[in-house]
Structure 1
Amino acid sequence: MQREIKGWHVFSVFALAFGIIISVNLTLAFNAVRTFPGLEVKNSYVASQSFDRDRTAQLALAWDVQATLEGDELVLRIVDNGQPIAPEIETATFGRATSVAQDQTPDFRFERGALRADVVAGAGNWNLRIKARAADGTLFQQRIIVEPGA
């Protein structure tokens, strides 16, 4: 015996399928908006006016910058002409790439040729966003992918 497919059967399948799609999309959109850090700059037009000049000045510093995790210690190595340096860190944020929920503000100290700070970190992708001031007043700002250390 064959069962006949009626209109309400087709409607139910379509309603269920689209209901699932819409529910998943709303859930993902809600979580994306809830966890995204937000704006990088308040006014992108104003920031763009000095971008090339600022980038040229920063590149002229020729700093070699590297960040690693050694256990629960964040190690930031800044090398200028082969010598480790400790510039003034204006702001530093250690956290995940896509969420501000675990952001931390490291308190750096200069030890053993590197800036070091105690942080709470686990496995996964971590970033360090820093703004540092060179001795000549040049602002260095960069997002550094933190590599897992020894």
Structure 2
Amino acid sequence: MIKEIKGWHVLTCFCLAFGVIVSVNLTLAYNAVRTFPGLEVKNSYVASQFFDENRVAQMALGWDVSAKLNGQVLSLFILENGVAIAPVIETATFGRATHVGQDEALAFEFDGQALRAVIQGEDGNWNLRLRARSDDGTLFEQRIIVEVAS
């Protein structure tokens, strides 16, 4: 026996389909807002006024900066003309690229080759937000993508 599709069948299917779409969108929007780490600067216009000037001063330092995670040890390599240096680290925050829930403030120790700190992280995509000052007082600010040793 052939069953006839009535208007309420179509309306029910329509409401269920769009109900799923709306609920998925609301869930994704909620999670996007809940995990948003916040703003980089309070006023982007004011920060932009000195951006080029700060970038030129920072580039003039000639520092080659990289970070590598090997197990629970984070190594920060800051080279000036190929020589490892240990500038004053004002702040160093180790965390995920997408949220601040696992952020750690780090205290580095210089061993002659690199600045090293013990962290609580595991495998994944990590960043180091670094704020350091050179001997001449120039501020160095950078977000460094941490390489995870395999």
TM-score range, shorter chain: over 0.9
The one-letter amino acid of 2:128's match is L
Give, in whole Å, the separation in 2 of the partners of 1:118 and 1:34: 29
Gapped regions of structure 1 (runs ≥ 5): none
Residue number in structure 1 paired with 2:38: 38
Does 2:3 align with 1:15? no
Aligned residue pairs, count: 150
The one-letter amino acid of 1:137's match is G
Residue number in structure 2 paired with 1:3: 3
Gapped regions of structure 2 (runs ≥ 5): none
The answer (yes or no) to whether the contact 2:108–2:117 under 8 Å persists in 1 is: yes
Deviations 1:96-144 (CA, angstroms, capped at 9, x unpaired): 1001111111111111411100101111101101011111111111111
Residue number in structure 2 paired with 1:107: 107
Q: Helix, strand or coil: the match of 1:147?
A: strand
Residue number in structure 1 paired with 2:118: 118
Deviations 1:34-59 (CA, angstroms, capped at 9, x unpaired): 11111000000000000000011111
TM-score, normalization: structure 2? Answer: 0.97
Give, in whole Å, the separation in 1 of the partners of 2:8 and 2:133: 68
Q: Which runs of 4+ in 1 moved over 3 A?
A: none
Q: Give % identity.
A: 66
The one-letter amino acid of 1:90's match is E
Residue number in structure 2 paired with 1:66: 66
Give, in whole Å, the separation in 2 of the partners of 1:34 and 1:110: 37
The one-letter amino acid of 2:51's match is F
Give, in whole Å, the separation in 2 of the partners of 1:92 and 1:23: 39
Root-mean-square deviation (CA, aligned residues, Å) is: 1.0
Deviations 1:60-80 (CA, angstroms, capped at 9, x unpaired): 111010100111011000000
